[in-house]
Amino acid sequence: MRKIILVAAATFGLAGFAQAADITGAGATFPFPIYAKWAEAYKKETGIGLNYQSIGSGGGIRQIKSKTVDFGASDMPLKGEDLEKDGLLQFPAVMGALVPAINIAGIEARQLKFTGPILSAIYQGEIKKWNDPKLTALNPGLKLPDANITVVYRSDGSGTTFVWTDYLSRVSPEWKSKIGANTSVQFPVGVGGKGNEGVSASVKQIANSIGYVEYAYAKQNKLSYGLIENRDGKFPMPDDSSFQAAAANANWNEAPGFGIILNNQPGAEAWPITSATFILMHKKAEKPEQSKAALAFFDWAFKNGDKLATDLEYVPMPANVKDQIRASWKGIVDASSKPIF
């Protein structure tokens, strides 16, 4: 019996030591690949690991509120009053973009054009067939089939759904009043896939379907995707430059904690569905050395992580925004109200 207790104590003790050195974080699934990549490189350089659990934005918010992690991650920015209430500091870490993935025989990537109102009508079940007059008028050169559209959406609560429905709310008053924007909404038509994998798999398998996924997923899974008319009436190609153009004209100080959504930004080059993903930390650090380690990690990522981010089709934060974020870190203090970073 005593032996068992000793072994148990030793195991827990060791586990305690191992965790003390590592940074812990939890939340959004969308930035998980880049956080993992950054963590790998960071561990090689500094020996400090990052234990990030991609449990979803809602889970990340819950965990940082209950202080079980050093930082939480969310795709949906928290509102100023919520940040205030829980004493949280928020800053964006990296950006990404969504594309409408399609599966129509004979239509290649970047051939089919959409507008915001057309996407909204498709997702409301008002446009039912691919050869709808609205679509054929916008795409005169393409041969669109006389087939029913199968709409695919994320069935799990997800920041991706929030960004997509926020975009549809901005371009369609009808969508805004009937369905709205959230991490999960009541889609009037279509089938739900669980996770980005679920949506990609469904779009790939179901003929004449449309879904929304991160650009990186569409590219990795070789899904075909369409172009979307932006606010200036242009059809930019989804790539680094159009994603960065969306971020360039944004006013980051418009909302507390840089909590703006980059959908439908002005600019001829701007990709219309772009969004940042956010980090949440307590302003009053209970474990100052852990919070400091987390900030050091993001500082390193802002300095050295841009190449890794673009390799994975993410968009690094613009340089001037990074400086503003670093300045905001002064808001995280220890017990004696001294900034820890």
Partner 1 sequence: MAAVTDQVDVPRAPAMRKTPKGTFDIVFRNASFGSALLVLVLLAGIMASMIIGGWPAFREMGLGFITSSIWDTQNDQYGAWPAIVGTLTTAFLALLIGVPLSLGIAVFLTQLAPPWFKQPVSTAIELLAAVPSIIYGMWGLFVFVPLFAAYVQQPVSRVVEGMPIVGTILYAASPSGLGILSAGIILAFMIIPFIASIVRDMLDQIPSVLRESAYGIGATTWEVVRHVLVPQAGVSIIGACMLGLGRALGETMAVTFVVGNANRLSSSIMDPGSTIASRIANEFNEAIGLQLNALIALGCILFFVTFVVLVIARILVSRVKAF
In terms of CB distance, is 154 or 282 closer to partner 1?
A: 154
Pairing of strands 113-114, 224-225: unpaired
Q: How far is the CB of 217 from partner 1 (least distance, A)?
A: 16
Tokens representing 3 are 């032996």
In terms of CB distance, is 147 or 248 closer to partner 1?
A: 147
Tokens 């379907």 found at: 209
Kindly state whether residue 258 participates in binding partner 1, applying the rule CB under 8 A. no
Q: Are 199 and 211 in contact (CB under 8 A)?
A: yes
- Contact with partner 1 (CB under 8 A) among 13, 87, 173, 180: 180
**Nearest by Cα to 275 from 127, 117, 129, 98:** 98
Kindly state whether residue 179 participates in binding partner 1, applying the rule CB under 8 A. yes
Please state, in angstroms and rounded to a whole number, the distance separating the CA atoms of residues 64 and 275.
22
Kindly state whether residue 120 participates in binding partner 1, applying the rule CB under 8 A. no
Tokens 């003929």 found at: 207
Cα 196 to Cα 30, 220, 230, 297, 313: the distances in Å are: 9, 12, 24, 27, 15
- Contact with partner 1 (CB under 8 A) among 187, 225, 298, 302: 187
Please state, in angstroms and rounded to a whole number, the distance separating the CA atoms of residues 53 and 289.
20
207: phi then psi, degrees, rounded to nearest 5: -65, 145
Instruction: Tally DSSP H helices, then E strands, for the chain.
Output: 14, 11
308: phi then psi, degrees, rounded to nearest 5: -60, -40
Task: State the number of binding residues for partner 1 (CB under 8 A).
Answer: 36
Kindly state whether residue 259 participates in binding partner 1, applying the rule CB under 8 A. no
Q: Which stretch binds partner 1 (CB under 8 A): 112-120, 178-186, 290-298, 326-334?
A: 178-186
In terms of CB distance, is 128 or 330 closer to partner 1?
A: 128
**Nearest by Cα to 170 from 81, 277, 57, 261:** 261
Pairing of strands 209-214, 88-103: antiparallel
By rule CB under 8 A, what string of x and - marks binding of each residue 36-55 to partner 1? -------------------x
104: phi then psi, degrees, rounded to nearest 5: -125, 125
Kindly state whether residue 202 participates in binding partner 1, applying the rule CB under 8 A. yes
Please state, in angstroms and rounded to a whole number, the distance separating the CA atoms of residues 21 and 40.
15
Q: How far is CA 111 from the centre of its chain?
A: 25
Q: Are 72 and 26 in contact (CB under 8 A)?
A: yes
- Contact with partner 1 (CB under 8 A) among 51, 184, 221, 328: 184
Q: How far is the CB of 56 from partner 1 (least distance, A)?
A: 3
In terms of CB distance, is 186 or 336 closer to partner 1?
A: 186
In terms of CB distance, is 64 or 321 closer to partner 1?
A: 64
Q: How far is the CB of 191 from partner 1 (least distance, A)?
A: 4
List the interface residues with partner 1, window 56-95 (CB under 8 A): 56-59, 61-62
Q: How far is the CB of 257 from partner 1 (least distance, A)?
A: 18
Q: How far is the CB of 250 from partner 1 (least distance, A)?
A: 25
By rule CB under 8 A, what string of x and - marks binding of each residue 144-163 to partner 1? ----xxxx---xxxx-----
Q: How far is the CB of 30 from partner 1 (least distance, A)?
A: 12
Q: Footprint of partner 1 on this chain (CB under 8 A)?
A: 55-59, 61-62, 148-151, 155-158, 179-180, 182-194, 198, 201-202, 205-206, 209
